[in-house]
Amino acid sequence: MAAEELPSLRAPSLPYPIELITSSPTPIGLVATLPAAGRRNVMALGDDGQVEDVFFQKVCKPKTNIVFLKVHKSASSTVMNILFRFGEMHNLTFAFPLRGGHQLFYPHHFMARFVQGFSPRKPPQFNILCHHMRFLRPEVQKVVPSTAIYFSILRNPVQLMESSFVYYKGTSAFSRARSLEEFLSQPYRFYNPKAGDSHYAKNLMTFDFGFNPDAEVTAKRVNLMLKAIEASFDLLLISEYFDESMVLLKETLCWDLDSVVSFPLNSRDSSTRSPLSSITAEKIKAWNRLDWEIYIHFNRTFWERIERDIGRERMWREVRALRQRQTELARTCLQGTGSVGPKDIKDSSLRPLQYGNARILGYNLKQGLDEATERMCRRLVTPELQYSTALYKKQFPPSPPQNTPQRPLQKPPQLAPSLQGMQQGKAMRYRLEGTRH
C-alpha cells in the first residue's frame, strides 16, 4: 500500500484562543483553519485581556513514518490503537510480524527479517512499526525510512510492577509468590535471571529498550543508557499524564485532534488492583533501579519539552479540548457510561484477551448507529489483537484457492506424543514467538 500525500498543517507559534479557530475537512480529518480575512495574523485577546497578534509562522506536514516502541503495561495498547487508526485511514503500511503474529519475536532483540515482506534488497518500505519488540536500532533502520519519528511511552515502575505481577502471574518468577510483597521480601528466592521469561519481573522497561535488566547499577552505566535512549528517540511520553502526552504527540507528528483521541484499551478492572504501602513502593524502586532512573529522567524532560514547545497555558487548553472530544465520542459511540467487564461485552469481536489474573475491560457500542459512525466507533474500541489481525489481512490478503484435483482423504497415522517431543515443541514456539502477551 502506498501512503497518500497528506496536506501541510499550519501551527501557531503562540498560544491562541480556540474560539477563533474554525474547522475544515481534509484527508486527515478536521483541521483547524483561520477565517479568510485572518490567514496571515489574528487579533486575539491575551491572558491579560490585551489585544495581541498571533502569527501563523510554522508550517508542518503530518508525519507518516513512525516507530513506536511498545513498552509493556504502559498504556501502549491505547497508543497502538491510535496508530492503527491513522495508518488504516491513510493507507499506510505496517511492519507486521511474520505470518501475522502479534509480537516481533519478542523477547529476542528485533531483527528486520522478523517483519513480513521485508527484503534486504529493497529500501525501507514500511511506514509504521509498532508491535511488541525488544529495541535494536540498527535493525529497525532497515525497515523504516530514515525520516521516521521514534517515540515510546513510560510508566512509573511502581505501578508497572504491580500490574505486571497480576498480568504475568503465570511466569516463572511470579507463579510461586503468593503476593507481590512476598516476592519483594526475598526476590532471588523466586527470580532466576536465566529463565526465559525473567524480564517480566525486573526492569521491564530497561529490557524493552534493549538493555540488560540485570546489569550492575552504576552512574556511568545509567548515564550511557539514558544518552543512548535520547540518541534513538525523538519523544518519550509518560502514561500517568496520558492526555498531555497525546497533545505532545499530536504536536510532534503534526496530526489533528481527532487522530489522538482514544478510549483506554487493555485496562483492567479496579477490583484486581492492590494498594501498595510506601515500604513496598520503595522496594519496587530498589528492585527496578534501572527502570526508575529511566522514568525520573524522562519524566523531567517531558515537562521541560512542554514548557519549551507548547507552554503550560496552551497545554491546558489543548488537554481540555481533547477531553471534551473524548466525552463527545463516548456519548456518540458507547452504550452505557463506559468500559465494562469481559462477560458484559455483547459483541465477541470486541472482547479483549483475558490473561493472567487481570480482568481486562472492554466496550459495548450503541445500537442503531449509521454505517460511517459505527465504523468510526468500532475502530476506537477494537482490541489490539483483533485490530492487528484485520489490518494484516488487509495488507496481505490471502491468496485465492487454486483449482487442483482433489485426492481421496487418508486418515493420518496416530502417533502418541512423547513428553520430550511436547517439551521441545513448547521450547521452539517460545524461541520463535516469545510470550504472546
Average pLDDT score over residue span 68-96? 97
Is 210 inside any structural domain? yes
Choose one of 355, 373, 391: the last residue of a domain: 391
Query: What pLDDT score does 403 carry?
Result: 66
Measured CA to CA in angstroms, residue 271 lies from 166, 174, 267, 292, 341 at distances of 11, 20, 12, 26, 11
Is 140 inside any structural domain? yes
CATH number of the CATH domain containing 168? 3.40.50
* pLDDT tens column, 4-29: 556 555 443 333 333 333 334 433 33
132 plus 179 within the same structural domain: yes
51 plus 96 within the same structural domain: no
Is 403 inside any structural domain? no
143 plus 44 within the same structural domain: no
Euclidean distance between CA atoms 289 and 202, whole angstroms: 9
Is 352 inside any structural domain? yes
Query: What pLDDT score does 431 carry?
Result: 38
Choose one of 38, 60, 82: the last residue of a domain: 60
Is residue 423 over pLDDT 70?
no
44 plus 86 within the same structural domain: no
- The cell for 402 is 487454486
Closest to 324 in 3D by CA, of 10, 22, 18 = 18
Query: What pLDDT score does 3 carry?
Result: 56
Measured CA to CA in angstroms, residue 58 lies from 11, 14, 61, 254 at distances of 6, 10, 10, 11
Is 75 inside any structural domain? yes
Residue 360 confidence class, pLDDT cut points 50, 70, 90: confident
* pLDDT tens column, 367-422: 999 999 999 999 999 999 999 999 999 999 988 777 655 555 554 444 344 444 43
Euclidean distance between CA atoms 250 and 252, whole angstroms: 6
Provide the domain count of the chain: 2
Is 238 inside any structural domain? yes
Query: What pLDDT score does 434 carry?
Result: 41
Residue 342 Rama label (left phi>0; alpha psi -120 to 50; beta) = alpha
256 plus 228 within the same structural domain: yes
Residue 425 confidence class, pLDDT cut points 50, 70, 90: very low
Whose cell is 459483541? That residue is 347
52 plus 87 within the same structural domain: no
Is 430 inside any structural domain? no
- The cell for 419 is 513428553
Query: What pLDDT score does 40 carry?
Result: 35
Is 418 inside any structural domain? no
Give CA 344 to chain center in angstroms: 25
Measured CA to CA in angstroms, residue 39 lies from 20, 329, 353 at distances of 12, 30, 49
The parent domain of residue 51 ranges over: 9-60
Q: Enumerate long-range contacts of 25-33, CB under 8 Å, 24 or more apart.
A: 27/90, 28/62, 28/89, 28/90, 28/255, 28/256, 28/259, 29/89, 29/256, 29/258, 29/259, 30/256, 30/257, 30/258, 31/7, 31/256, 32/256
188 plus 329 within the same structural domain: yes
Length of the chain measured in residues: 437
74 plus 52 within the same structural domain: no
Query: What pLDDT score does 348 carry?
Result: 87
Mapping DSSP onto H, E and C, the string for 99-154 reads HHCCECCCCCECCHHHECCCCCCCCCCCCEECCECECCHHHHCCCCCCCCEEEEEE
204 plus 344 within the same structural domain: yes
* pLDDT tens column, 170-229: 999 999 999 999 999 999 999 999 999 999 999 999 999 999 999 999 999 999 999 999
Q: Which residues contact 9 (CB under 8 A, 6 or more apart)?
A: 31, 32, 59, 60, 61, 62, 254, 256
Is residue 252 over pLDDT 90?
yes
Is residue 117 over pLDDT 50?
yes
Up-side HSE of residue 328: CA atoms within 13 Å toward CB? Answer: 10
76 plus 145 within the same structural domain: yes
Mapping DSSP onto H, E and C, the string for 361-391 reads CECCECCCCCHHHHHHHHHHHCCHHHHHHHH
46 plus 174 within the same structural domain: no
